[in-house]
Structure 1
Amino acid sequence: MAGCIIACAVGAYKFKRRGDMSMSVFLMQLRVAAQGTVVGCLTLGLGYTMINEYLIKPKSKD
């Protein structure tokens, strides 16, 4: 939740300071940055899960 709020705040700040850049170009760049952030978070989550399951093997309950 905090990441979403921070990303929205940064996007709103940069939108006000975009200068003479057209709105469509700015929104396209913002969308690409948001998609990159999501892919990065998913990659980190998948890596964390794989490390926990395959490298740091939990002790069996037998």
Structure 2
Amino acid sequence: MNDTLHWFKSSYSDSGGGDCVEVATRPHAVHLRDSKQSDGPTFTVEPAAWSAFVAWQ
């Protein structure tokens, strides 16, 4: 699955090599992974859940 997704680094990620989250979106799912472990596990949520998460402050 990871090879078919277009991953991009989250704008919330640290540019100093710290916490780095990559995100890939599909119409019915948002996939997340640790950029330092691109072959590792992914976390998938529904788009509404992702929108609520990034809107939360």
Asked if Structure 1 and Structure 2 have the same fold, meaning a TM-score greater than 0.5 normalized by the shorter chain, the answer is: no
Higher relative contact order, structure no. (Cα contacts within 8 Å, ≥ 6 residues apart): 2
Q: TM-score, normalised by structure 1?
A: 0.28
Bigger-Rg structure (1/2): 1
Q: TM-score, normalised by structure 2?
A: 0.30
Could you say which structure has the higher helix fraction?
Answer: 1
Could you say which structure has the higher strand fraction?
Answer: 2
